[in-house]
A and B are shown apart, each in its own frame.
Chain A
Amino acid sequence: MGALLDASRLLSLRRRDFLRGVCGAGAAAACGGVSAAAPSKSKVVIVTFGGGARDDETFALRGQRNIPHILNELIPQGTFFTRVVNRGILGHYVATAGIATGRYETFNNFVSQPPPAPTLFEYYRKHAGTPTSDCWVVAPSNGFERIGASSARQYGPAYGAGVVLPKNLLSSAVSGQTAAGLRDFEHLLQDSYEMPIPGTAASALNHDFNLTQLTSALKLSVDDFLRNARALSSPDELSVHVARQLMRAMAPSLLFVTLHDMDVAHVGTYSLYLEGIQRSDRLCAVLWQAIQSDPEYKDRTTMLILPDFGRDADGDPGGNGFQHHRTGGPLARTTWLLALGPHVRGNVTVDRLVECIDVVPTVGGLLGFDTPMAQGSRIAELL
């Protein structure tokens, strides 16, 4: 692991140097010492980038143009961790599940199954005694449908989060459309770029479930949902639209959104990968603005943004550059975390190494619940 640590340190320094130039960000003088305690009824919104974005396309000099909102609007308001390492399996579902459980999960990435360890939603709901409507996951459709609750004894679906798969919702909502009508939504139904998979909204049961979720959770009629969707340009935009609707309708305390457009990189088209990054950058700002303009969220919400992992380095003989995340090399394992919120110090960078599995214990610290089966540690700078 020595090589990884050295390389991750180098990546961290590159990000730090850059931030100093752009934002004038200062270092965290010491762990802890935050300005104010988290207010009551705190909420947490977690945004992950499924697919990861390399430094080359983000924090490196030539990548900066792809993330103007994160750089110019969000980082000045938040604490930026320059060195976040993922030591687990670099597959999107299993890695995202690891972020949600605080453990490096080891199950087959390509099989839809509940995580074996409790998720942060289960810890939270068991502690707070809140209903399912208090925790939501908005995720891509390829295998994420069971991420909301684990198979762990004494936890499980009774304490899990509701899971919305926006593309499945849309698939069900458009099922009665004419061919011409369907064309309005094709661009929102793009799915797994790593491998094509059959749609999961095909069964009558799923169809009914999806339409019920539309009205009960999102408080939207099919017509309203389709009218809104027509104005959107990508699956990630649809996901953020759904997340915002959940915030308005349910005001959940825990909201976990996985953006996935940039994973189009798997088909090898660099231009589409860049577009995905640019869109994620913009959507993070949209989500933060939505938090700031909603009285249920303003001044009581912590938002954490992190890629699930990176992508392979150019020239690594085991990969094909940006296209995949197969090598397990340092660039694919090292990423970053941005935290925003009323008790999070602004314009601060932290260079020490943290891990993606530290998110769950940290959220536990923010919302006041224990995470006994998580492997990670609380991030002191956020508590």
Chain B
Amino acid sequence: MTPADLDTSSFSRYPPQAAAWCARRIGLLKRLPLAVAPSIFEQAIAFDWKFPAEKVRLTGQISALAALAPAAFDRVVAPLEAITLPEALAKSDWVNHPAVFVETLTAHLWSTGQIDRYREAARTLLDSAPVEAEPVRKRTVIFLAGAALTAPSYPLFERLRASGLHAVDVAHDAEQTWALELLAKNASATEDRYANWYLDGGEPWPLPPAAGPIITLSYAHLDPVRKAVLYRMNRATRAGDGPELLHRQLVAMQPEECGAQTLTPDPVLQHFMVDLFTQGSGTQIYSTTFVQWAAREILRRASPQTLVVRVAPRVRQRGLNELIATPGLNPDLDAAGSLVDADMAAYYTWLELQKLPGAADCIFLAWFQGRGEAFLTGPSIPRNVTASSRMTIDDVYGLLS
């Protein structure tokens, strides 16, 4: 089957929103090369569980492609048409199992030396269909590393310093609630249910009252999902299923298999919680990895207005198989390693923030309380500046006004 053979009945096994979305765009979908169509369907089949921002982005991309003049469309898909595919791949049920197709395609591209050509062709296709800019939000990301994370000599914010202000003598206040109060204040100003997030690598702090919605995700709160995924990984490991089969098993896991429906009634969030552990590598065993990956995914997928991130110490390294098999038996924490992880996670979170519309107006504050250091970027903040005078974290944040 090729994309040209598609009709509206092709999506009969899709969830309702996904089926309707594809049916409305059948004309464009039929014109896509087989080398790229399953990648679009991999996103479309999960349409019912995507965040609003993702839906807007995906729809915008397809609309922009559909709006191309025929000659321009032919020109941008030509490099993808030139990708050679094995016959078996073309005959597979790629409409209903697009992820399997994409995984097999990826291996084929690597083994036939076409991966670089494919990357370039895919980039050309995406660049030819720029999505209309989303409404720009003045986003705020607060990244906190608590006093329990300690590595006295590790140089913090090396990758970030050139982009903002580095405060090197921030008072060691008691646990601050100002970040969550800011979150609550922002939440009060919107009804967008996915605009304001609190992500915690340990036990979450209690939220102050807010008039609007705040989504809280914490490593502790998501423990049932994490352990269900670990159980599946352990079973596959013992059965000798191999990494590729294990990967397929993980991406096929549904919220009801992981207890996610007991954590939230929202199916979008249920799927997001499962994705964090089935698509993230290492999120199942190290809380610092979970925080970095989850912050990235929240920014990339939900495009939030406010994100408060707090890193808690992760467990000390042990054998991978052991950590998978006995997830609850490792109380020994690695405070120094966690701080190094958190520093990189802060940088990656900032990098992800830069990819969103309106990045120049965004506020990013990282505070490593145990080290008494903070880093701030924002519209009025000078770059590559070190503030060495004694400040409180309120003073640092107040530099924005």
Q: Which residues of A contact B (CB under 8 A)?
A: 1, 3-4, 62, 87, 89-91, 104, 106-108, 110-111, 186-187, 189-199, 264, 266-272, 274-275, 314-315, 317-318, 320-324, 327-328
Q: Are A196 and B237 in contact (CB under 8 A)?
A: yes
CB-CB under 8 A from B351, the residues of chain A are 314-315
CB-based nearest B residue for A188: B319
Closest chain-B Cβ to A5's Cβ sits at a distance in Å of: 11
Q: In whole angstroms, what is the CA distance A190 to B318 when docked?
A: 7
Q: Mark B30-46, 1 if CB is under 8 A from A, else 0.
A: 00000000000000000
Which residues of B sit under 8 angstroms from A111, Cβ to Cβ? 242
Q: Is the CB of A267 within 8 A of B282?
A: yes
13 more contacts with CB within 8 A, not counting A4-B116, A108-B111, A194-B281, are A106-B112, A107-B111, A110-B242, A110-B243, A187-B318, A190-B317, A198-B240, A266-B282, A267-B320, A268-B282, A268-B293, A271-B338, A274-B340
Is B292 interfacial (CB 8 A cutoff)? Answer: yes
B360 beta carbon closer than 8 Å to chain A: no
Asked if B347 is at the interface (CB within 8 A of a chain A CB), the reply is yes
Q: Is the CB of A268 within 8 A of B292?
A: yes
Chain A residues lying within 8 Å of B292, measured Cβ to Cβ, are 268
Known: A87-B113, A268-B281, A269-B289. A321 touches B319 (CB 8 A): no
Contact B244 A328 (CB under 8 A): no
Q: List residues 323-349 of chain B with CB under 8 A from any CB of chain A.
A: 324, 334, 336-341, 343-345, 347-348
Across-interface contacts of A62 in B (CB, < 8 A):
155, 158-159
Cβ of B111 and Cβ of A106 under 8 Å apart?
yes
Per the bound structure, the CA–CA distance linking A193 and B284 in Å amounts to 13
Q: Is the interface of A mostly helix, strand, loop or mixed?
A: loop
Beta-carbon contact of B319 and A190 below 8 Å: yes
B324: chain A residues at CB < 8 Å are: 196
Shortest distance from the beta carbon of A120 to any chain B beta carbon, whole Å: 22
Which residues of A have CB within 8 Å of B322? 186
Known: A271-B341, A272-B337, A324-B281. A197 touches B317 (CB 8 A): no
B153-187 CB contacts (< 8 Å) to partner A: 155, 158-159
Give the number of residues in B that approach A within 8 Å (Cβ atoms).
Answer: 56
**Docked-complex contact B243 and A269, CB < 8 angstroms:** no
- Bound CA–CA A62/B156 (angstroms): 11
Nearest chain A residue, comparing its CB with the CB of B324: A196
Q: List 26 A-B contacts (CB under 8 A).
A: A91-B110, A106-B112, A108-B111, A110-B242, A110-B243, A111-B242, A191-B320, A194-B281, A196-B246, A198-B238, A266-B281, A267-B285, A267-B289, A268-B281, A268-B283, A269-B286, A269-B317, A269-B337, A269-B341, A270-B343, A272-B337, A314-B351, A320-B293, A322-B344, A328-B115, A328-B116
Q: Is the CB of B119 within 8 A of A318?
A: yes
The residues in B between 287 and 339 inclusive whose CB is less than 8 angstroms from any CB of A are: 288-289, 292-293, 296, 314, 317-322, 324, 334, 336-339
- 9 interchain residue pairs of minimum CB distance: A267-B282, A195-B243, A268-B289, A271-B340, A271-B337, A270-B344, A268-B282, A106-B111, A190-B319
Contact of B246 among A4, A195, A271 (CB under 8 A): A195
The reply to whether A317 and B355 contact each other, CB–CB distance below 8 Å, is yes
Q: Is the CB of A186 within 8 A of B337?
A: no
Knowing A89-B110, A268-B293, say if A314 contacts B348 (CB, 8 Å).
yes
The reply to whether B288 and A186 contact each other, CB–CB distance below 8 Å, is: no
With a cutoff of 8 Å between Cβ atoms, the chain B residues found around residue A187 in the complex are 317-319
B289 pairs with A1, CB closer than 8 A: no
Closest approach, in angstroms, between the C-beta of A46 and any C-beta of chain B? 24
Contact in complex: B107, A108 (CB < 8 Å): yes
Given A89-B110, A186-B319, A315-B351, does the pair A198, B281 have CB atoms closer than 8 Å? no
